[in-house]
Each structure stands twice: as C-alpha cells, then as structure tokens.
Structure 1
C-alpha cells in the first residue's frame, strides 16, 4: 500500500487550476437551466420514464469512455444508459414481488431488460408478479437467501492467498470462488475449496492475478496525499468527501494536489470494509461532480441509485482517468493480502496504483469508491468498489448532488 517513491510530476498543476473554473461553469449552467437531481429516494417511475430522464444532457466524456471501453456507438451508449436507468427502477419492485423466492437479478445488455431469478418450488405465483413489475423471469434451484447463507459460511473461513474472492452469482445460481491461475493445486487452496463445496453450491473460476489495492506513492497529478500515499477522491458529501479506507486512518491529515491542507480522516475502516471519509475546510469546498482530469468533461452527480449486475459503469481516478466496463457481481468478499473485505461490487473496469478511492458512476448515479483489483489499463483486469450508500449510511453522511 505504501511506496518509497518520491518521483513527482508537476506539469499537470496549471491544468488543475483551469479545470476548477470549468467545474464552476458547469454547475452554474446546470442550475441556470433548471437541471436538478434528487438527493433522496423517489417513487419508482413507470416504465418508459427512464428514457426521458436520460434525455437530460449527458457528459460527453462519459459517452466517449463507454464508446472506447464497451465498443458502443454514441446512440448505443445513450440507449443503454436509458435501459439501465429503467432496470434500476424495476429492480426494487421486482425484488419485493418475488419475496422469499428471490434468487437475484441482473441486467441483460442484449435485451435491455432486467432478469430476475425465481427459486423453483417457491415462486410459482411470484413469477407473474415479477413479470408485472417489468422484469424477465428465470427459474432457478436456489434462492438468494440460500446462496447468501453459503457465502456467509465462506466468510467465516480463513482464505489462503491463492483464493482471490467469492460472491453470489445470480445468473449461475451458485457461489463463485475465484482462484489465482496456477494456485488451484496448492494444499491450502484445495482445503479451502473442499470446505466451500461442503457449504453448498459452489463454482470455481480462475483469475489471472491476486487482487491488490490501488494506492500508490507520491507520483504527481494527485487529488490528495496522506503521508507518502496518494489516492483519489470518491464523491463529495456535505462537509467533505468519501474515499477508500486503505488510503488513511482516522486522524491522519490530508493534503491536496497543491500540497495545501484539506482536512483529516474522520472515519476509516480497512480491512473488513474499505471506506473512509475526510472533512473539507481551509478554503476547500465540495461540488457534486466526478472529475474528468482535463481529458473529458466533468460529470454531474444527481443521486446514488444502485445499478444492477450487468449494467455499465465508469470510473474516474487520478492515474488512469476515465474507464468504463460492466458490473460483474455484488456482495463479493475480496481476499487482499491485508485481509478480507466484504460486500464489494466487482466490475470489468481496469485501474492502477493511485486510483484507489476514486469514483464509480453509472450514468449520473454515484455507485462506489475504488478499492482494488488485478491487472492494469494496458492489458485489462477487474476492479472492485465499495458501494457508496453503505459508506453514507455508516457515517450518517449526505451525498452532495446537483
């Protein structure tokens, strides 16, 4: 997590000053035209209203990143954001309709619809209600409650370093355990997998590398520093910002890109969780935007509705800037070398050192803060984020929205 590197890059500092001005202009423009966003949950929209919502001006940078990373045309990106917004609205209603038979859900990019798994034998009547809520239905063997019980049993085990993570996969209707390539024959890994299989329905998949956090030493162009570690700001909250817990401990001072004092870590948790929040003062202020780092326009944040599995998601970080991908899994336990972290969301987005704590956003909805992953933005990889709503609830914070 720490680094002895003292290399600095100051060439981006002038750009940071110009960008701050652009943020203010973007916000003034939004308010002048009456663009507003709900900071609290609102009643679920009727089918089709999500398309009107996405008709609001979209960040060119967001669409450009989706085109680059997901291979979409501009029209496809806009259409997908509309479909995902509708799926997000449908998911809560469909889950309530499924009741105890609920087996999880995911967004299907091909059909543009949300699919809900219903446990056979429990959901004959529920299936009709779920369809009525606007979702597709797939009958499965196990309910989400059953699979969550299996995952909870794995959470109580000591995992060896060759085991990367584990989560409930609603589409596979199993608990998926990720094992680092070449480590499956390791005695400790085999023992862990044996106990996992005894707990219930488990599927083993290989990953290229073990997960790691994305903090880094001082290398310049950073949103903030703690000691010799740099990380990225996640989302503005009233009174400060949220970020990753492994970036600093409660009481540590935080310095900004210009090395001036911002505030202190007010709360931090890692491992177990990977979240923290920093108060902002000393001439610093908060704005409801995700930064484009001078490469793409900034993105306004209008809420924190949770996107379903399969939805597109984009990440902004101080090292690799904007990159996009898909939500692959939720409530995954990630086995870092420092210890396991629970309730993480896995994505196909790449990241690198220094991106830790940065923003994950779907459309204009905040999703979470970057924790860690494997791979990089040259060869690809996977990255996990800590869901933002969990952080807000833990510390009693309120997201700063446009």
Structure 2
C-alpha cells in the first residue's frame, strides 16, 4: 500500500512512515535514480551496484518461501534478468509464442513455442525452450470462448497455462459432481484444449466492513491503497463506484473514485487532494522496510511476489498463473493473475510487488493468512493504460 498521509499529530506511526518514505525518496533523487513509468511495461534499470532488494524484503522471502538469504538474493537477480529475457524471447518466437514461466529451481525463464523452427532464435535470447502443441494466440481464443459461457458457482476460475499448453479450468472439489458444473465442463472441452483441476474453495473479494487499522474508506467499506499515480492512486473496482467519496484512516476526505469497473474487471482509481499527497512507496508494515516503486515490469509465472494490505499486512509467495478468469459470486473478472500469497478481508485494492516493480492490485481469493490460500490481482499496467495514468516511481 503506497504511503500517502495527511500530516497530523494524531498518528505517530503514520508520521514516522511518511518521514521514512520521504527520506527514501530524497535519497533516491540525490543519487540520480528518479524516473517515471507510463502505462507501458517499464522496468527501471537496476545498476550493478544496487542490491536487488532490501535486507528486510529478503528476510520476508526467507520466511514465506522457505529460502536461505543467499537463495533469496540469487532468485531476485534471476527474476530481474528473466523479465528482460521474456520480452526478447517473445519477439523471437513471433506467432509461435506459447507463453513463458520462471523455473525457480533452474533460476531461469522457459519459453514455449508451437513451431520448433523458432527454437534456436528463442534460445539465443537466453531462455530455455519448450516445444508445445498450441500457441498463446490459440489458447487465448479458447479463453475467449470460455469467457462467453455462463459459469456456475462451483467453477472457480480458468486461465491459460503455458506449461500444459491448455486452458486450465479450476472446479471446487466439493461441487465437481454438480450437474451444472458437469455441463460447463462439457462445453469447455468443446471450446478448445482444456485441462480440469480441483481447487479447495470458491474465490471471494477481500473488502470489509469498517474496522480500525490503516485503511481507506468508502462508506462503511474498508479497502487498501494500491499504487501511487500522478494525481491519485489505483485500487480495486469492487471497493467503490465512480463518484463515491473516499476518506483516509482518520476519516478526513481524500478524494473520489474517478473511474471504477467491477465485475468484468476489478480496477479503479481515486484522485488525491485536500492536503493528502502520494509517494512511490509500498508499506512494509514493520515486517520489511517500506519499499520504493521503480517501475512496472511484469513478473513471469513462477516468480516471487509480495503483497501489502491493511488487514494482513505483508506476505510473499509466487505467481501461479496469468490471464485467469475468476468467477466471483458478483460475476466473472477477466485477465487476472493468480498467486500463492494469502490475503484477508480489508486487503482488497492493496499492492502486489515483485522486487521494486509494481505488479497489480489485490482483487480476491480464498483462504486466509493463518491456514493459507490463493489470491488474484488485477495487473497494474492494464489499469494505467485504461485510465491514461502514469505510475509514480522513485
């Protein structure tokens, strides 16, 4: 959750965070690292002399991903390289591009191609090559056909899975024998290459009623701030409709929802004024230091990722899938990214970040941070593009 606070003596911890964030930002400007990121995929270059992440972030990855300090550091560096390789490999694969994923054990990117004649050109980018049956374009066409179907509540989600070269449909285990679920599965199989998998629970959004903490409020709904943009911040669409007023943790007025979409999408943006300000920071909640945002380079499937929210604060995991349609009770939401990170009510809208690169805003999921679960986010670059916003970066 980016730091944006109204200066007041009522909140010592907030003032401390604001001071630390300002110090981080001033330090960055002084060393000549100030940049701006537009709606395009814009990772900032990482100088060889700069560590891939703070020591506290690496500690959090050790705890949540079961890594040693050396393994966490090595993984972050490899993931930074993978982001660059993926763009070059996609160009080299052309129409045969079948998707990609980060292999944590090997420490590199695997790129799928449906035409083996493109393998040498893709391998030349530094990626490992896997020859598959279907291109991403063919799998996306299957996704479009599934998105046109009405899904029952027993169907959790569906997404393009490059490793199986199919569209994976997740069905709630306890509902898999329901007639309406079986009928949907039958129609899905006719739509193209489909794999059926079980999941434990149906997804839900993570908004919450009014409680204390460090939130923003829309009426009696509490959600979490995502990322600073010039003029405001981005967050989840289910947290408020366009025009709705927004107040901060102290209930003072911040601004209004300038645009909002839910379902179909789950994104929104809020303008910031009335003495509030924005800085390119994601709160670490004392688990890690507050994290500077330096760009929005998209992390591949398999990459490590962390989330910040006003209820469960800071947790990490990995990217499990992209371009997934999530079937909430309110309606389907498209082009989401699934992660192994937990979340809880009130975390909606909060930040997903990989290293120092903004990834997306928390939408919903299943489970909690005691027993575990899965959480989806709406990719931030789509939000920036939709509303013509510019990410506020350090």
Q: Which residue of 1 aligns with 2:55?
A: 60
Q: Which residue of 2 aligns with 1:21?
A: 19
> Secondary structure at 2:393's aligned position in 1?
coil
Q: Calculate the TM-score normalised by the size of structure 2.
A: 0.94
1:299 is displaced (CA, Å) by: 0.2
Q: Calculate the TM-score normalised by the size of structure 1.
A: 0.92
Higher relative contact order (CA 8 A, sep 6+): 2
Counterparts of 2:380 and 2:73 in 1: how far apart (Å)?
A: 24
Counterparts of 1:320 and 1:91 in 2: how far apart (Å)?
A: 32
CA contact (8 A) 2:116 2:131 kept: no
Q: Given the superposition, is the C-alpha separation of residues 54 and 95 from structure 1 closer, same or farther in structure 2, using an over 3 Å criterion?
A: farther
Q: Which residue of 1 aligns with 2:145?
A: 153
Q: Which residue of 1 aligns with 2:7?
A: none
CA contact (8 A) 1:222 1:230 kept: no
Counterparts of 1:54 and 1:244 in 2: how far apart (Å)?
A: 36
Q: Which residue of 1 aligns with 2:130?
A: 138
1:103 is displaced (CA, Å) by: 0.9
Structure 2 residue runs without a partner (length 5+): 1-9
1:350 is displaced (CA, Å) by: 0.5
Q: Would you say 1:331 and 2:323 are equivalent positions? A: yes
Counterparts of 2:49 and 2:328 in 1: how far apart (Å)?
A: 37
CA contact (8 A) 1:101 1:126 kept: yes
Structure 2 matches for 1:2-401, cutoff 5 A? Answer: 13-37=11-35, 39=37, 52-53=47-48, 55-56=50-51, 58-119=53-114, 123-401=115-393
> Secondary structure at 1:346's aligned position in 2?
strand
1:269 is displaced (CA, Å) by: 0.2
Aligned length in residues: 384
> Secondary structure at 1:251's aligned position in 2?
coil
Larger displacement relative to structure 2 (271-280 or 67-76): 67-76
Structure 1 residue runs without a partner (length 5+): 1-11
Counterparts of 2:238 and 2:142 in 1: how far apart (Å)?
A: 28
Counterparts of 1:146 and 1:69 in 2: how far apart (Å)?
A: 35
CA contact (8 A) 1:268 1:275 kept: yes
Q: Given the superposition, is the C-alpha separation of residues 60 and 373 from structure 1 closer, same or farther in structure 2, using an over 3 Å criterion?
A: same
Q: Per-residue CA shift, 1:32-65, capped at 9, x if unaligned?
A: 23333452569999xxx86x55834622332122
1:147 is displaced (CA, Å) by: 1.1
Counterparts of 1:44 and 1:35 in 2: how far apart (Å)?
A: 13
Counterparts of 2:352 and 2:303 in 1: how far apart (Å)?
A: 12
1:319 is displaced (CA, Å) by: 0.6
Q: Per-residue CA shift, 1:149-207, capped at 9, x if unaligned?
A: 11111100000000000001001111100111211100000000000011121111111
> Secondary structure at 2:251's aligned position in 1?
coil
Q: Per-residue CA shift, 1:117-152, capped at 9, x if unaligned?
A: 111xxx232111000111110111111111111111
Q: Given the superposition, is the C-alpha separation of residues 42 and 157 from structure 1 closer, same or farther in structure 2, using an over 3 Å criterion?
A: closer
User: What root-mean-square deviation, in Å, do the aligned CA atoms of Structure 1 and Structure 2 show?
Assistant: 1.8
Q: Given the superposition, is the C-alpha separation of residues 323 and 166 from structure 1 closer, same or farther in structure 2, using an over 3 Å criterion?
A: same
CA contact (8 A) 1:167 1:329 kept: yes
Q: Which residue of 2 aligns with 1:3?
A: none
Counterparts of 2:258 and 2:147 in 1: how far apart (Å)?
A: 28
Counterparts of 1:395 and 1:149 in 2: how far apart (Å)?
A: 26
Larger displacement relative to structure 2 (57-66 or 23-32): 57-66
Superposed structure 1 runs of 4+ greater than 6 Å apart: 41-45
CA contact (8 A) 1:210 1:374 kept: yes
